[in-house]
Amino acid sequence: MSEFGGSWQGGSWQGGSWQGGSWQGGSWGGGSSGTPTFAMRADRPLADFAVAPYTGAAFPDYPGRYWDPDLWALTVLTEFFGPGLLGGYWQPRIILPGPPGMAATLVEINRLLVLAVTERPEAMGEIIQQHQNFQVAWLQLLTIDPGTHPNTFLLMKLVARVGEVVMMHFKRIHHRARPSQICPTLFPPVPVPGHASYPAGHGLIAHLTSIALMEVVPATLHPALLELARIVGFNREIAGLHYESDTAAGVQVANQVLPILNDCPTYQLVKGLAAAEPW
């Protein structure tokens, strides 16, 4: 499973055990895993009971609370990447120099080898949890969930959607080899994602999530949010999945993405609603 299309975006982080599995759509929703099912007796179906027809003056809209946050969040992409963006087209507003050359990369590899020996055993639990269940760490830190703070949750989804596309844009430009391609004995403890290394996706979205949340949550939570993002990025280095310069590049890009997001009307709307939730 890859960082972008497997456990991080389309597996247990987004559509697996946390959102679409045992918590939302698995054992809680009526099944053991995957899509929930709801049994109904064939001889006494619910449809056999008479119900009053809709009597409203106009046909009702689809309620906002029924929207899948992941799908609703896609709607901000047309604003962020569109020509009508308030502050101008997005690409000229994000500057990311290329990754270090081979000599500097080999220095980074040596650092990763040390981390694999000295830090990885203790960090293994965090590495695995953050590889499989990424966004829930922020909910845990803030003591919230999609039910108590739906707009804050949606804000996090908007941030992640934009971050995903931006990171892949730059990864495709730079095509930096993963550390374990250069030094196989790094042997990452989780599957190596199927895309280039620079900038680090976890580092980018972790930092972007934290600085976005800092605009809506009390200031007392800001240091913890930044530290959580740092830990997530660092753990990807300990795992041998990223160089230190990958993580730094992710932070650099995230800092440039947030002002562009703030030029998007949809993001501004959701941010205002999130700030109004109980903190």
205-217 mean pLDDT: 98
Q: pLDDT of 231-273, one tens digit each? A: 999 999 999 999 999 999 999 999 999 999 999 999 999 999 9
CATH, domain range 67-275: 1.20.144.10
According to the model, what pLDDT value does residue 8 have? 41
According to the model, what pLDDT value does residue 28 have? 33
Confidence of residue 217 (pLDDT cuts 50, 70, 90): very high
pLDDT at residue 166 greater than cutoff 80: yes
The SS3 of residue 233 is helix
According to the model, what pLDDT value does residue 101 have? 97
pLDDT at residue 86 greater than cutoff 50: yes
pLDDT at residue 206 greater than cutoff 80: yes
- Longest Cα–Cα distance of the chain, Å, equals 76
pLDDT at residue 123 greater than cutoff 50: yes
With b for 16 or more beta-carbon neighbours within 10 A and e for fewer, the 60-77 pattern comes to: eeeeeeeeebbebbeebb
Q: Tokens 């996706």 belong to which residue?
A: 201
The answer to whether the peptide bond before residue 199 is cis (omega within 30 degrees of 0) is: yes
Q: Please name the amino acid found at residue 216.
A: V
Domain range summary for the chain, segments of one domain joined by +:
67-275
Structure tokens, 237:
């280095």
129's enclosing H/E stretch is: helix 120-132
CB 105 within 8 A of CB 243: yes
Q: For a pLDDT cut of 70, what percent of the chain falls above it?
A: 88
Q: Please name the amino acid found at residue 94.
A: I
Q: Please name the amino acid found at residue 98.
A: G
Confidence of residue 55 (pLDDT cuts 50, 70, 90): confident
CA distance 184 to 186: 5
The SS3 of residue 166 is helix
CB 162 within 8 A of CB 76: yes
Q: How far is CA 162 from the centre of its chain?
A: 9
Mean pLDDT rounded to a whole number for the chain: 88
According to the model, what pLDDT value does residue 197 have? 98
Rounded to the nearest 5 percent, the helix, strand and coil shares of the chain are 55, 0, 45
pTM of the model: 0.86
**Among 11-15, 148-152, 221-225, whose mean pLDDT is lowest?**
11-15
The SS3 of residue 237 is helix
According to the model, what pLDDT value does residue 33 have? 52
10 Å CB burial of residue 87 (0-12, 13-18, 19+) is: exposed
Confidence of residue 29 (pLDDT cuts 50, 70, 90): very low
